[in-house]
Structure 1
Amino acid sequence: MTTATPSSPLVTRHDHDGYVTLVLSNPARRNALSAAMMSALQDAFDDIAQNPDIRCVILAADGPVFCAGHDLKEMGGITDCDQHASLFAQCSRLMMRIVTLPQPVIARVRGMATAAGCQLVASCDLAVAARSAKFATPGVNIGLFCSTPMVALSRNIARKHAMRMLLTGDPVPADTAFAMGLVSDVVDDDDLETATDDLAAGIAARSGMTVRLGKQAFYKQIEMPLPDAYAYASDVMTTNMQKHDAREGIGAFVEKRHPTWRHE
């Protein structure tokens, strides 16, 4: 276990074949989303967005807690309204960066993910949770309703499930989070890293162009009325059909061979 110090990064990066793992690396502070931690994550995602050779991202954490949300000590030391507004705006930009990132992001969750940490999981495209993991939006217990985590949470799970989490602050075990739709996979603790790496490698093995196009289309259409969504999705498929990888993939299927992607 490593503890972030002024000379060690808050976020560490590990490059693999076609995908990257970003690790929250401040377990002494329970990987809290301080302003510095959010800046480090934002910079890492902005850098990844510019690299088409990276086709998937895993977001993981050091230590027994995935992410405890905002750094309450930091927040409690702020009295100026504008500084609080700036902190929450920074958090919102980070969450939106994950959604707008060209590459899919998979949360690899071990331990607790609470408040903005739960928001971080909900903002990722996929989430693989260890069976012992738990999720909570406990702001109500300290007089601070989890309003910004609510945005991501309510876009992942049914309203009454979201409201129960928000109104009670009770922790939700991984199996329940899976049933609610907050996480995509639950695996035994010992299998967490392997399962997440396999998932990321599988996505990275697909056409990067197709995955980028599909992720963007998913988030755009889901907010549209049904007729508009179909019209937009039809346009996307038309564009997709003109790409090299679509022609290559269809040709490979017909010819019963493996496709050779150019990611374009």
Structure 2
Amino acid sequence: MIPLRGSGVAPSPASGRLAEHVRRASSEPAASALTADRLYRFFRTGEEETLALQGVSLTVNPGETVAVVGPSGCGKSTLLGCLAGLDEPDGGTVRVGGQRLSHRPEAERARLRAQRIGVLLQNRNLLPHLDVRANIELARTAGRVGPWRRGFTENLGARVMELLERVGLSTRAHAYASELSGGELARAGLAVALANDPDIVLADEPTGELDGDSERHVLELLRDRAGAGAALLVVTHSTRVVAIADRVIHLHDGMLTS
């Protein structure tokens, strides 16, 4: 019970500890959405060994947009693959919201990715034998089991149509990847990446082949997701992507240079 002012009843030690805990919790920074600690990745071809990542460490916080830049072949796509759990680092760890993603069975990585991460790859994410709507539905429901699944399936159709409208493809719901233009492919792939309301969005050159209007549209959608609290990391060569980033990370020969 909270004592009335002037009642002469002193607060208990337990209530004092609770108040101190609340005060500290409110003053502590939010946990990182994505953390990479000393990532190493190498590839061997015959007698030659290539170090694609050399001790890369980074964090991305909720609501933050980070651009990763560097010359072709510097390890950007390899880094994104490790951060997404699509590839395993040879050393170091990746954590998503405090949960370890790396060095776990592939099925566990896939389940955690489906629940927490939206990935936009250069191939635009679409399975060629499914139409746009079915691709989004699959991404929306993948990995959602038990209590996770109910809220994601009850209004599945409405959520899919909402996404299609947001990316400007409401009239292309039943089109296949082979029937879409480059700009439509980019927007459809983005809808797939955003389908599971991810805490983290990882995008590999999301605007690489787009015209100015399409690029602006994709960037607006990505920033909207960051504005909703998602952590956003984008591998890019685009000056427009760099311009919207809160922070820029430079990668060179598999190492951070700034």
The TM-score normalised by the length of structure 2 is 0.29
Higher relative contact order (CA 8 A, sep 6+): 2
Q: 1 or 2, which has the higher helix percentage?
A: 1
Q: 1 or 2, which has the higher strand percentage?
A: 2
The TM-score normalised by the length of structure 1 is 0.28
